[in-house]
Structure 1
Amino acid sequence: MAMEASQIEALLREAFPTAEIEVMGDDGVHMGAKVVAEEFKGKNRVAQQRMVYAALKGKMDGSNGELHALQLTTAVKE
């Protein structure tokens, strides 16, 4: 089952309510997201990406996940 961009954005918005979030892609399987959030302050890129994956609540978990690939860009909101 594929995910729509709006579903991905809703999950990210729940975890990062004040973030700037942009979700790209239209096939529902290979998507991209840019998340600029205050919550990333003091975290390295790996930690930031782990936070984003955690916000997706298992939607990318292995072969059973709804989302196969997410090209991810993260940054600290100033």
Structure 2
Amino acid sequence: MKTESVKALIEAALPCTYVEVEGDGSHFYATIVSSAFEGLKLLDRHRLVKDKLKAHFDSGELHALSLRATRTPQEAQP
């Protein structure tokens, strides 16, 4: 899977204002800014993303995704 494909999966699953994905085709690292994270603790934010992509993990299409940052739009402002 390519980084662009992982980014597209995340953007389709969540209302994102920013998504950055890096990786080597097997393991990916993502930074996500989404209003869906409002009121959620860090662990719940990560669970939300992983749950939304569960079918892709279960099929083996997506092997590993590490979440570098999961922020709300307000938290992402300088």
| TM-score scaled by length of structure 1 | 0.78
For structure 1, the 5+ residue unaligned runs are none
Identity of aligned residues (%): 38
**CA displacement 1:25-67 (0-9 Å, x = unmatched):** 1x21111000111110100111101111122242223xx5223
| TM-score scaled by length of structure 2 | 0.78
Larger helix fraction of residues: 2
CA RMSD in angstroms, aligned pairs only: 1.6
How many residues end up aligned between the 2 structures?
A: 73
Q: Distance in 2 between matches of 1:18 and 1:75?
A: 10
Q: Which amino acid aligns with 1:44?
A: K
For structure 2, the 5+ residue unaligned runs are none
